[in-house]
Structure 1
Amino acid sequence: MLVNRYKYLIIIVLLFFLAGFFLFRWWQGPLLSGYEVVSSPLVQTVVASGRVETVSRAQIGSEITGVVLERLIQEGDRVSRGDLLLLLKSDEIAAQVRQAEAELTELAASRRPQAEVDLANAKVQLQQAEREAARRRNTELGILSAEEREKSIEAERLARNNLELARLKVAALAPGQAEETMLRERLAALQAQLAKTKIRAEVSGTVLTRNVEPGDLVQPSQTLFTIALDGATEIRVPFDERNLPLLALQQKAAVIADAYPDQAFPAHINFIAPSIDAQRGTVDVRLTVDPVPDFLRQDMTVSVNVETNKRERTLVIPNDALSSISGKKAMVILVRDGKIQRHSITLGLRGLVMSEVVAGLKEGDQVLADAESALKDGTRVRLEQKQRGLQHQADQTDSKNELPVKFD
């Protein structure tokens, strides 16, 4: 009987303590997640996606219409100025070149010597006509008629004209004169046309595209190859226009190619477009890459993280603890002496994950993680510190191309 009494007494005491514990917990309030305001380094960055571009590209085409005989390069090949890229069928033009060369040979071997012989003959004929005319002029009128004398004079005049024509012909066919110049110009024009059947690189660079195969008929308006010129490599990034106030020339950036996520490389801003793309609401920014990694390729997709500002040490707070953000002002739910109260703070650097606290909080203050909590001010709560991880860096992210960023 006595044992049963002790047993009941123990049960009653346990129930009493249990009820007291739950009453105390009820008095303390619900268990909520929260953060502690800490002081740490802070780096603000602007993050977006872009593409790799060379500064210049050259589009290679044909100056004449022709059929492709042979293609000697393909995408990715490295070419130098003067390298042969493509051969066009050239039978007809080559035949015309040979004909023009034959005409020059004929000029030197046949027409020019013949003209000199004709000139010599014309001189002889003139001398003979002059002698004949002189004899007839000295003959008395009774022996020769006036008509015969006139014929001798006319023959002399024709012989002199023939001599002059022969001299002009010899002069025209002489080396370096009109006839040879005309033939050489025609040969040069045909040789130039023949050279156009061999399409060569006018610049040094890397072949990006090819749009031709053997057997194709190409025309002057057609682009056959696109070559990325040797020189500086740039990254073109369309940043959201809201980030424009944060961007400046020569700002440094860390770049990561999507294909090589473990190999970040440096770049810096060298151009900010003076206008905004109204349709996309973006501003074009170009960054120079130097040195250029070996793995970087034209049109690669990259993630660009531009450092826009930094603090060596400052108070930081996670963004999910903020509410009613208006400009630099925001509200937090502060936890003091186990009770909550809404509190206005002033922000500095802001980012996707963390923001700087300029005024309104001090190091060690605790705030609720749920900035939109419906609990009334003065409500008692118990705070559970959230695992903050690596949160010492702030960023700005392009909302049109948002990328996850870690903070450390």
Structure 2
Amino acid sequence: MERTGRSPRRHWIVPLAVLAVLAIGIGVWRWQGAKNVSVARPVRASIIESIASSGRVRGVTETLAGAQAAGVVERLFVREGDRVSAGQRLAILKNDVAEARAAQAEAALTTAQATLVQVSRGVLPSELEAAAAQVEQARAQLAQQQSSLAQAEQSVVQAKAQLAQHQAEGELADRQLERAERLLERGLIARAEHDEAVTRSRVVKQQIAAQQQAVAVAETVVRAFRGGVAAAEANVGVQEARLRTLQVGARPEDVEIARQRVREAEGALAVARRQAQEAVVVAPFGGVVTAINAEVGQTVGSQGVLQLVSTEVEIRVEVDETNLADLALGQSAVVSSTAFPGSTFAGSVREIAAAVDQTRGTVTVTVAPMKPPAWLRPGQTVNVNVVTNPAAQRLLVPTAALRRVGDRIVVLVVRDDRAVETVVQTRPPTKDGVPVVAGLDADDRVITNPAAIQPGDRLRIRPSTGRGEP
């Protein structure tokens, strides 16, 4: 009798079929739950890295040109925008103080000459009486000059106190203006409120400039009265010496002293006349007149008739202190202006400030322009790109792949078919993508459409043949 048996392989068919069905089911379930994404691998490229900021054009040398003493502007030879050379006459001041000193010196010389005449001959009783009266008159003039000097010194103290108050108001106005600019950028205040802060800052600066002129004029007046006190004291000495000479009679040595006083008075008169002629404002260097601070007929101090800026200019740029490590002397820069599109010129980093502005967190970088264009003006705002690395090797990723989470910049990469969040450090974007300096490898697969993707999501990669993509 023949027996029929099952093949051993048939025992495995059913379990294998079940496992296959389960595997297919799990695969279908995972496939249906995965999210479609596009990915790209970072592309290594050589790029130019730079620091972009705005800068202010100013002269390498700037000054407020004035004469040696205060006075009233009598003649003005230049206008705003004129180019001048070193030593060129800019203005003439009418110096009443210097002219008064010259008149006093002339009077002192006349007195010294009269004294010499008197000691050379006998003395009359009437001359003694007149000499005593002149001594009293000289002492009264000295007391008056001393009183006027005290009042002038008090005026200086008051003017400096007012200047300090205006300067404190100016610092407050500058801080309020900076705050208003930040709030305006964020849309938290109206343009009118920002304009009010700008106006307030400008008004306070004008008040400071006017008060500085007032301080300069007050100090000049003090110097003038000190000169008057010195002249009055000298006159008292002369009159007292003359009286003593008349009282004791002339001696050979007295005659010689009188001659010496005449010579001293002649020298003092020559100095006073020279000072009266020195009220001429001249250019200390060649440059451009950028502002006229006093017109004809206005009173000015020893400085401040006009503002002069040297022909050679430089650009001051405020750079965030976080960029300090990337800055170095001699780095090249590209300068442009929104007012002159398409026109750029080169520059070089000449100086990096030794200290950081603690209030703003910035450091001042000075850029020397090379072959500046004709449109460049002192006080102008320009755009400056300081090239920190002309050939930096960086990984580039698409701009769309980046997103900000708090104060971090992150990308999503694919690992084991899931989205993984990675923090990256970037540089300013280029036309080919965003440079990444830390956080990614060249083999990473970066998700380029991360808007609807969350870390941990299961992913299904869309096939693509684009540049930098798998």
Q: TM-score with structure 2 length normalisation? A: 0.52
What's the counterpart of residue 279 of structure 2?
197
Aligned residues: 308
Instruction: Supply the distance in 1 between the matched residues of 2:98 and 2:409 (Cα, whole angstroms).
Output: 79
Partner in structure 2 of residue 223 of structure 1: 304
1:370 to 426, 440, 449: 449
Aligned pair in 2 of structure 1 residues 41, 95: CA closer, same or farther (>3 Å)? closer
- The equivalent of 1:302 in structure 2 is 382
Out of 414, 419, 423, the position equivalent to 1:342 is 419
Confirm or deny: 8 A CA contact 2:424 2:440 kept in the other structure.
no
Compared with structure 1, are the counterparts of its residues 310 and 356 closer, same or farther at alpha carbon in structure 2 (3 Å cutoff)? farther
After TM superposition, the structure 1 = structure 2 runs for residues 243-282 of structure 1, keeping only pairs within 5 Å, are 243-282=323-362
The equivalent residue for 2:363 is: 283
For the residue of structure 1 that corresponds to 2:343, the secondary structure is: strand
The question of whether the paired residues in 2 share the 8 Å contact of 1:53 and 1:236 is answered with yes
- C-alpha distance in 2, partners of 1:50/1:239? 9
Contact 2:403 2:409 in 1 (8 A): no
Task: Find the residue that maps to 2:450 and give its secondary structure.
Answer: coil
The one-character-per-residue Cα deviations of 1:101-131 (angstroms, maximum 9, x if unpaired) are 89989x99x999x89xx79x9xxxxxxxxxx
Q: Closer, same or farther in 2 for the Cα pair 1:320/1:101, shift >3 Å?
A: same
Whether the 8 Å contact between 2:411 and 2:447 is mirrored in structure 1 is no
Q: 1:357 to 1:274 in 2, by over 3 A?
A: closer
Query: Match of 2:385, as an amino acid?
Result: N
Aligned to 1:130: none
What is the aligned partner in structure 1 of residue 71 from structure 2?
Answer: 66
The gaps in structure 1 that reach 5 residues or longer are: 1-25, 122-163, 387-408
Residue type of the partner of 2:419? R
Letter in 2 for 1:378: L
CA RMSD of aligned residues (A): 4.7
Verify the 8 A CA contact 2:109 2:269 in the aligned structure 1: no
Residue 370 to residue 279, structure 1, CA distance change in 2 (3 Å): farther
**Aligned residue for 1:125?**
none
Percentage of pairs with the same residue: 28
Q: Identify if the C-alpha distance between structure 1 residues 96 and 168 changes in structure 2 by more than 3 Å, giving closer, same or farther.
A: same
1:278-321 deviation per Cα after TM superposition (whole angstroms, max 9, x unaligned):
32222222222234433321111111111122446654213431
- Give the structure with the larger helix fraction: 2
| Greater gyration radius | 1
2:36–2:460 contact (8 Å) kept in structure 1: no
Gaps of 5+ in 2: 1-30, 123-248
The 3 A distance-change label for structure 1 pair 379 and 34 is closer
Between 1:375-384 and 1:257-266, the stretch displaced more is 375-384
Which secondary structure does the structure 2 equivalent of 1:296 belong to?
A: coil
Q: State the SS of the aligned residue for 1:182.
A: helix
SS in 2 for 1:223: coil
1:74/1:210 contact within 8 Å kept: yes
Matches within 5 A, 1:6-405: 37-89=42-94, 165=250, 178-192=261-275, 194-220=276-302, 223-231=304-312, 233-311=313-391, 314-323=394-403, 330-333=410-413, 341-342=418-419, 350-353=427-430, 354-356=434-436, 362=442, 367-374=446-453, 376-379=457-460, 381=462
Shift of 1:224: 1.9
Give the distance between the partners of 1:341 and 1:188, measured in 2 at CA: 93
Letter in 2 for 1:302: V
Judging changes above 3 Å, is the alpha-carbon distance between structure 1 residues 355 and 95 closer, same or farther for their aligned structure 2 residues?
A: closer
Query: For 2:341, what is the secondary structure of its paired residue?
Result: strand
> What secondary structure is seen at the aligned counterpart in 1 of 2:263?
helix
Amino acid at match of 1:66: G
- Contact conserved, 1:335 with 1:368, CA < 8 A, in 2? no
* Distance (Å, rounded) in 1 between the aligned partners of 2:338 and 2:255: 76
Shift of 1:73: 1.2
1:51: how far off?
0.7
**SS state of the match for residue 270, structure 2?**
helix
Q: Is the 8 A contact 1:323 1:332 kept in 2?
A: no
Aligned-partner Cα distance in 2 for 1:57–1:104: 43
Measure the CA separation in 1 of the matches of 2:281 and 2:440.
71
Distance 2:91 2:54 in 1: 37
Higher strand share: 1
Is the contact between residue 39 and residue 315 of structure 1 (CA under 8 Å) also seen in structure 2?
yes
Distance in 2, matches of 1:211 and 1:71, equals 11
Letter of the 2:351 counterpart? F
After superposition, the Cα gap between the structure-2 partners of 1:311 and 1:346, relative to the gap in structure 1 and judged at 3 Å, is farther
Distance in 2, matches of 1:385 and 1:30, equals 20
Displacement of 1:332: 3.1
Kindly provide the CA deviation profile for residues 138-195 of structure 1, in whole angstroms up to 9, marking residues without a partner as x: xxxxxxxxxxxxxxxxxxxxxxxxxx95866875687xx5423421321222221x22
